[in-house]
Amino acid sequence: MELVKLSLEEIIGELEEASQNGELSRAREERLRRLISDSTRPRLMDTIDRSALMPQTLELIEKLKLDEQYEDQIRALADFGFLELNGEPKEGDVPVPSFGRVMNSFTADEVEVALSYQGGELLLVPECSMNHIVYQSEHPVRGYRLFEYEDELFVLAEDFITDRGTPDTIEGYRPVIVDGQAQDVEFDLTKGLLQQVEALKAARRPGEKGMEARRGMMLLIARAHKGRTLESISGELDRGEIWEDDPRLTDQEMPEVYDDGGYSLSLTDIDLLEDQKRRSSVGGDVLLK
């Protein structure tokens, strides 16, 4: 069998003709274009100045494949409507920071903590209202919707958003790395919740943080974008995952996301907090504009 070699221009021409003839959907055509672009683009690590990064940061990039995760994050932000589909910022929004700037935002202590993670995940948390993040999680441009039912998230997230208005602008991004595995934690219900959370914080390593609502939501969006089904994601949360760094925490209530047959984002009464999970994270202090 004779093999025919085609240039990229010829391949794209064939795709356009197939699309015009109704043989290929526009969505599939765009997907194939992106795959071609990805396969011919130089590796991200080859485009940055390695000498500008700490040796341990380079080790972290290699261990967690953060260059690949960075590109996945841009695709997720685009597919969930935070960016245009081509990865460019929407009108009035700040562009996504470069990979080099993202990695330089982490301190030596934060990198050391992240090196201990099993399957750490890079997040680019947009600096915008919680309502904007909630809105986009329910209205992706394409791909998997985070919540099953049209109004479920808004009903369950009343304490997390101030209104149901249109999305607002993105003023920058906060790079974060979260642990790929959550840890079990137990609370003594005879003691104040805030006191126990402060004890958790006191036991952290230098540079280590927990989770709050924006990080938690962007982690769920990132996992959904990777093709995780609602059942597989929520199945990991059947014991609840707390966000102990969220300012909504009180002695009576803890913000968390959990599985109740769908997906719930809510403030949970402390009577339900005996067996929980928590997740370590680093970064988020630096706003990149």
**270: which DSSP letter?**
G
The verdict on residue 288 lying in a domain is no
The verdict on residue 266 lying in a domain is yes
Q: Are residues 33 and 107 in the same domain?
A: no
Q: Are residues 102 and 182 in the same domain?
A: yes
Q: Which residues of 207-218 are buried (b: 16+ CB within 10 A; e: fewer)?
A: bbbbbbbbbbbb
The verdict on residue 186 lying in a domain is yes
Q: Which residues of 140-176 are buried (b: 16+ CB within 10 A; e: fewer)?
A: beeebebbeeeeebbebbeebbeeeeebeebebbbbb
| Per-residue model confidence (pLDDT) at position 184 | 86
Question: CA torsion angle for 269, 150, 177, 51 (degrees, to 10)?
Answer: -160
Q: Are residues 38 and 171 in the same domain?
A: no
Distance CA 210, CA 219 (A): 13
Q: Are residues 101 and 163 in the same domain?
A: yes
The verdict on residue 2 lying in a domain is no
| Per-residue model confidence (pLDDT) at position 125 | 97
Answer whether 284's CB lies under 8 Å from 176's CB.
yes
Token code pair at residue 168: 């607002």
The verdict on residue 134 lying in a domain is yes
| Per-residue model confidence (pLDDT) at position 131 | 80
Q: Are residues 34 and 70 in the same domain?
A: no
Q: Are residues 155 and 244 in the same domain?
A: yes
| Per-residue model confidence (pLDDT) at position 146 | 60
Domain that holds residue 33: 11-42
Q: How many domains does the chain have?
A: 2
| Per-residue model confidence (pLDDT) at position 175 | 98
Q: Are residues 258 and 164 in the same domain?
A: yes
The verdict on residue 4 lying in a domain is no
The DSSP bridge pattern shows strands 253-258 and 241-242 to be antiparallel
The per-residue pLDDT string of the chain (289 residues; one tens digit each, 9 = 90 and over) reads: 344 455 656 666 666 677 667 666 655 655 666 555 555 555 777 777 888 899 999 999 999 999 999 999 999 999 889 999 889 999 999 999 999 999 999 999 999 999 999 889 999 999 998 888 877 877 777 665 565 544 444 434 455 555 545 557 999 999 999 999 888 888 777 777 888 889 999 999 999 999 988 898 898 888 878 765 544 554 454 456 778 898 878 887 777 665 554 445 666 676 666 667 889 999 999 999 9
Q: Are residues 23 and 147 in the same domain?
A: no
Q: Are residues 21 and 157 in the same domain?
A: no
| Per-residue model confidence (pLDDT) at position 193 | 81
**Closest to 248 (Cα-Cα) out of 194, 199, 196, 286:** 194
